[in-house]
Amino acid sequence: MDIIDLKSREVFGNDGRGIAVLVEEPNLTIRQLGLEPGKSVPVHTTDAPVTIQVLRGEGMFSENGESVRVGRGKLLRIPRGVSMGIANDSDEPLVILAIRTDLPAEAPADMALGQQAGAYVNLIDFAPVKPGKQEAFLEWFRRSSEAFARHRGFISRSLLAPIEGGSRYAAVVEHESRETFLDMHLSDDRARLFQEAEPLVLGASTPHFYELLISYRTTK
């Protein structure tokens, strides 16, 4: 018997948003999400049915543009393929359980990336690396990539350097879906690792987001 103390697993992170994975099985994932007042989860498209239970506080939950206020003791059923978002517009912390029930796979696990419908791509334009910090930045990228690779839905994370020299790098991050990317983005790993990168670069980095439509890759 496995007993989970939900109160002890509450996470809000350095930016007032946090997520803890409580259960992770092939067709079942249970996450506990914490949002401080004024924080939100951006609108995204669900790629599996999700049931949400409010444990503490209340907030606005949107589904395909329609919003409803949900408080403690309520369940919200979200079907696959709809646009949803969460906003804590109250004065108290909001804590919810998100219970994801994945549908059986319809294709083999070794399918080519270009065949994965809805693959989510994040292109990051890093701020220029500070003089003398290049090796430290490369080591940070290797170490952070190892941590992010342990998150559900991770496909790849690649660092790009300018061919003609310079100190501005870019990165391409591939995830199975926007939902799995947001899980990583709201994690303690991401907050901690990007804080460690701040002393290495001059200013803020710029993210761009894409949905993979077509990808041709050799198998050699």
CB burial string 131-143: b at 16+ within 10 A, e below: eebeeebeebbee
pLDDT at 13 over 50: yes
CATH code of the domain in which 136 resides: 3.30.70.100
Note whether 139 and 200 are same-domain residues: yes
Note whether 150 and 190 are same-domain residues: yes
**Nearest Cα residue to 120 out of 182, 42, 189, 27:** 182
Other C-beta atoms lying within 10 Å of the C-beta of residue 96: 25
**Nearest Cα residue to 157 out of 138, 136, 173:** 173
Q: Examine residue 80 and state whether it is found in any structural domain, yes or no.
A: yes
pTM: 0.54
Instruction: Give just the sign of the alpha carbon dihedral 45, 50, 54, 55.
Output: negative
Q: Examine residue 58 and state whether it is found in any structural domain, yes or no.
A: yes
Kindly report the length of the chain: 220
Other C-beta atoms lying within 10 Å of the C-beta of residue 196: 12
Note whether 121 and 169 are same-domain residues: yes
Tens digit of pLDDT for each residue in 154-189?
999 999 988 776 678 999 999 988 888 888 888 888
pLDDT at res. 219? 58
Tens digit of pLDDT for each residue in 74-112?
889 988 888 899 999 999 999 999 998 876 654 444 444
CATH code of the domain in which 31 resides: 2.60.120.10
Note whether 95 and 130 are same-domain residues: no
Note whether 117 and 181 are same-domain residues: yes
How far apart (Å, rounded) are the C-alpha atoms in residues 83 and 212? 18
How far apart (Å, rounded) are the C-alpha atoms in residues 30 and 133? 40
* Last residue in a domain, options 53, 71, 100: 100
Number of domains into which the chain is organized: 2
Band (202; pLDDT cuts 50, 70, 90): very high
Note whether 46 and 85 are same-domain residues: yes
Q: Examine residue 27 and state whether it is found in any structural domain, yes or no.
A: yes
Note whether 65 and 148 are same-domain residues: no
Burial class (CB in 10 A: 0-12, 13-18, 19+), 173: buried
Range of the domain at 140: 113-211
DSSP letters along 43-56, please?
Answer: EEE-SS-EEEEEEE
Tens digit of pLDDT for each residue in 28-51?
899 999 999 999 988 888 888 899
Note whether 126 and 191 are same-domain residues: yes
**Nearest Cα residue to 40 out of 96, 81, 2:** 96
Note whether 30 and 96 are same-domain residues: yes
Q: Examine residue 218 and state whether it is found in any structural domain, yes or no.
A: no
Element counts in the chain: helices (H) and strands (E): 3, 13
